[in-house]
Amino acid sequence: MAEDAEAAAECGGGGDSGAGACEPGVAPIKAQYRTTKERFHQYLDADQREDACQETPEGDPEGSDLTEPEAKRIRLEDGQENGKAEATAEPPEQQQAPKRARGQNKSRPHVKPTHYDKERLCPSLLQESATCAFGDRCRFLHDVGRYLESKPADLGPRCVLYDTFGRCPYGVTCRFAGAHLGPGGQNLVQEEVVARCVHLPPVRNGLNRALQQQLRKRQVCFERAEQALRRLTQSPRPAGIPETTVATATPEQNSCHAPLDTTGGAGTPRGSPVSTCGPLTDEDIIRLRPCEKKQLDISGKLYLAPLTTCGNLPFRRICKRFGADVTCGEMAVCTNLLQGQMSEWALLKRHPCEDIFGVQLEGAFPDTMTKCAELLNRTIDVDFVDINVGCPIDLVYKKGGGCALMNRSAKFQQIVRGVNEVLDVPVTVKMRTGVQERVSLAHRLLPELRDWGVALVTLHGRSREQRYTRLADWPYIKQCAEVASPMPLFGNGDILSFEDANCAMQTGVAGVMIARGALLKPWLFTEIKEQRHWDISSSERLDILRDFTHYGLEHWGSDTQGVERTRRFLLEWLSFLCRYVPVGLLERLPQRINERPPYYLGRDHLETLMASQQAADWIRISEMLLGPVPPGFAFLPKHKANAYK
């Protein structure tokens, strides 16, 4: 996380006192806990060596073994020796101070989950099918005995899926298969638990195979979207918008799909009535007026931001348990959804505990966004759809999406109006103050968004150019809340305590959205609702991580691929959790989000381990919960600034 030395002036802060506040931009920790980088790592390394020398008990029910696997320990030692040899071989005059890593790790090492299993069992055996659909051409194993010979050892004696649902659908491929395999290798079933779970509401918003095939073959018809786009392109140029910014291309020219033949024949003018198939209903003819749409009343509620990578369904379940009122899925690219990509549709899944849930769409063109909105309107169950106008990454910005829409007012208007027309649920917008640091655009766009039919706007108090190098501009958010009235506006940025949330609400916003604060401490929602600082213990924090792994195994599966996917998202989350400083160690409350934690020794070993900013120690924590990492495993966090060396 990039820090700024000017952070001391944040709203609600008090005067710093004591020795811990001598260094700007660093969290003030009590003197008895502070240490140096060398002593910090010596403490963890010494404990690691002691654990390696001790015999590990077999069958630990909670998987709380702190020792490193032998292969991994050898790799670490070899890497340290090679690093020392390279350092000694380089002349002192050529050695330079290491440059602080910032930005994204775009070339991260990644082992595909399919490579973890050398021998993979045919899915037909797991589905108990009579025959394999591929016959002799099948690339997978059909010999269960041979598969079990090469399968790695179980990671624990209990299977989360078997205990929760009464049956594990992964059978012998489950990494906890010993909990539900009979003497003959058959998959056991708890009939009572299965009968009880039949009445539980399932996870919603999945993509069925038939719809996926239709999307891939471009056989889905978007009549409602086509009509809305035709009206938008034929409407007169909006007042105040230069002629050069008005879209001149037809929706088909901007679309990633082939044009749909909805006119009944070649050469028919586009203005002719659309041919229909089947009987007409009132829904086909009568459109909902804006006042008849489902209302979105979330004023005063705590809104968990749509967090890319870390805002997955298991993490949202954790936040819901601690008091989050509104949740939103990760940013989904509309073109990927229209192509039927399973990985993109997985971002739309909704757990039964998410009572107020929305999805966020990203796109640069009105045709793809409107068609995607119509598709979601008739296939998934959500309470609102959010349009992403705040994504700052180059991959999105250079294509005209995300923050770039703030400078493309004509396209922005067509997207909002088109999406709003085809949806039966409210439309919201998440945006930044602007693109450039000194040129704010939000206050000029908010009145237009209100006129375009947006139900709610969330404003992140930074520009694209600033990223996280400055504090959120809450005085500007206050100005925008007045301009946007009566449309509700939520504020977002730098909320890490209930004092920060109280100060934010004093600006006149309808509510607060919490993003990084939830990653650093998901119990922040409880602190805000109970107006207190929670000095949470390291064992309680480990229990939260254990619950996350259980939710992850339910969501991604308990086979090798599911376990390693759960581990990957756990490690990404740990790259943020390490920045949290326990309340009992601070000289001054609360911790500021822009203050980096210094090196300190916690009140126990686990608290110290959780404060480590090295990826190797995050892997140790993951091994306590998910067992040893596979051979050749490597991890770097998504952002370079998350792993200090």
3-state secondary structure 606-633: HHHHHCCCCHHHHHHHHHHHHCCCCCCC
- Return the structure tokens found at 539: 């064992």
Give the mean pLDDT of 526-547. 96
**361 class by beta-carbon count within 10 Å (0-12 exposed, 13-18 middle, 19+ buried):** buried
Q: Where are the alpha helices (DSSP H) in 235-357?
A: 251-254, 282-285, 313-321, 334-338, 342-345
CA 106 to chain centre: 18
Question: 510 Cβ partners below 8 Å, 6+ apart?
Answer: 298, 299, 300, 456, 481, 488, 489, 490
Locus of tokens 């004696």: 157
Domain residue ranges in the chain: 302-534
Task: Estimate the crossing angle of helix 615-626 against helix 560-577, to 10 degrees.
Answer: 130
What is the pLDDT at residue 96? 56
Among 68-82, 523-537, 600-614, which stretch is predicted with the lowest mean pLDDT?
A: 68-82
Distance in angstroms (rounded) separating the CA atoms of residues 593 and 104: 20
Q: What are the Cα distances from residue 595, in Å, to 3, 37, 461, 580?
A: 7, 17, 18, 10
Task: Provide the pLDDT confidence category of residue 9 given band limits of 50, 70 and 90.
Answer: very low
Q: CB 292: neighbour CB atoms within 10 A?
A: 10
Q: Is pLDDT of 66 > 60?
A: no
Question: 496 Cβ partners below 8 Å, 6+ apart?
Answer: 516, 517, 520, 521, 524, 590, 591, 592, 593
Q: What is the mean pLDDT of the chain?
A: 81
- Which pLDDT tens digit goes with each residue over 290-327? 556 777 889 999 999 999 999 999 999 999 999 999 99
Helix and strand tally (H, E) in the chain?
25, 8
Range 164-169 contact pairs with CB under 8 angstroms and sequence separation of 24 or more: 164/193, 164/197, 164/554, 165/193, 165/194, 165/197, 166/190, 166/191, 166/192, 166/193, 166/194, 166/195, 166/196, 166/197, 167/193, 167/194, 168/558, 169/126
- Which pLDDT tens digit goes with each residue over 468-513? 878 999 999 999 999 999 999 999 999 999 999 999 999 999 999 9
Closest CA relative to residue 496, chosen from 19, 10, 34:
10
- Which pLDDT tens digit goes with each residue over 143-156? 888 888 888 899 99
The question of whether 391 is a catalytic residue gets the answer yes
More confident residue, 47 or 282: 47
CB 43 within 8 A of CB 615: no
Closest CA relative to residue 310, chosen from 609, 593, 576:
576
Q: CB 8: neighbour CB atoms within 10 A?
A: 15
DSSP symbol at 267? T
More confident residue, 460 or 254: 460
What is the pLDDT at residue 76? 42
Give the mean pLDDT of 422-433. 95
Q: Is the peptide bond before 28 cis (omega within 30 degrees of 0)?
A: no
Percent helix, strand and coil across the chain, each to the nearest 5: 45, 10, 45
Among 129-133, 187-191, 415-419, 640-644, which stretch is predicted with the lowest mean pLDDT?
A: 640-644
Task: Provide the pLDDT confidence category of residue 607 given band limits of 50, 70 and 90.
Answer: very high
Distance in angstroms (rounded) separating the CA atoms of residues 299 and 428: 13
3 state DSSP class of 491: strand
Kind of pairing between the strands at 456-460 and 511-514: unpaired
What is the pLDDT at residue 16? 39
Among 289-293, 476-480, 513-517, 537-541, which stretch is predicted with the lowest mean pLDDT?
A: 289-293
Element at 329 (helix H, strand E): strand 327-333
- Return the structure tokens found at 82: 């090679």
Question: 7 Cβ partners below 8 Å, 6+ apart?
Answer: 24, 25, 471, 592, 594, 595
Burial 458-472 (b: 16+ CB within 10 A, else e): bbbbbbbbbebebbb
**548 class by beta-carbon count within 10 Å (0-12 exposed, 13-18 middle, 19+ buried):** buried
Distance in angstroms (rounded) separating the CA atoms of residues 307 and 319: 12
What is the pLDDT at residue 469? 77
Q: Where are the alpha helices (DSSP H) in 141-287?
A: 144-150, 160-165, 191-197, 209-216, 223-234, 251-254, 282-285
DSSP string, 344-392: HHGGG-B-TT-SSEEEEEE-SSHHHHHHHHHHHHHH---SEEEEEE---
Q: CB 276: neighbour CB atoms within 10 A?
A: 11
Give CATH for domain 302-534: 3.20.20.70
Closest CA relative to residue 370, chosen from 215, 229, 245:
229
DSSP symbol at 154? P
- Return the structure tokens found at 154: 């179980």
Q: Given 391, 403, 480, 578, which residue is catalytic?
A: 391
CB 418 within 8 A of CB 231: no
pTM, entire model: 0.82
Closest CA relative to residue 627, chosen from 569, 554, 573, 546:
546
More confident residue, 252 or 309: 309
- Return the structure tokens found at 116: 């973890």
Strand arrangement of the beta sheet that strand 489-492 belongs to: 302-304, 511-514, 489-492, 456-460, 427-432, 384-389, 357-362, 327-333
DSSP symbol at 244? G
Amino acid of residue 91: P
Q: What angle do CA 625, 631, 632 make, to 5 degrees?
A: 110
Closest CA relative to residue 418, chosen from 456, 365, 344, 359:
365
Q: Is the peptide bond before 590 cis (omega within 30 degrees of 0)?
A: yes
- Return the structure tokens found at 591: 């911790």
Question: 50 Cβ partners below 8 Å, 6+ apart?
Answer: none
Q: What angle do CA 496, 506, 528 make, to 5 degrees?
A: 35
CB 365 within 8 A of CB 401: no
Give the mean pLDDT of 47-60. 54
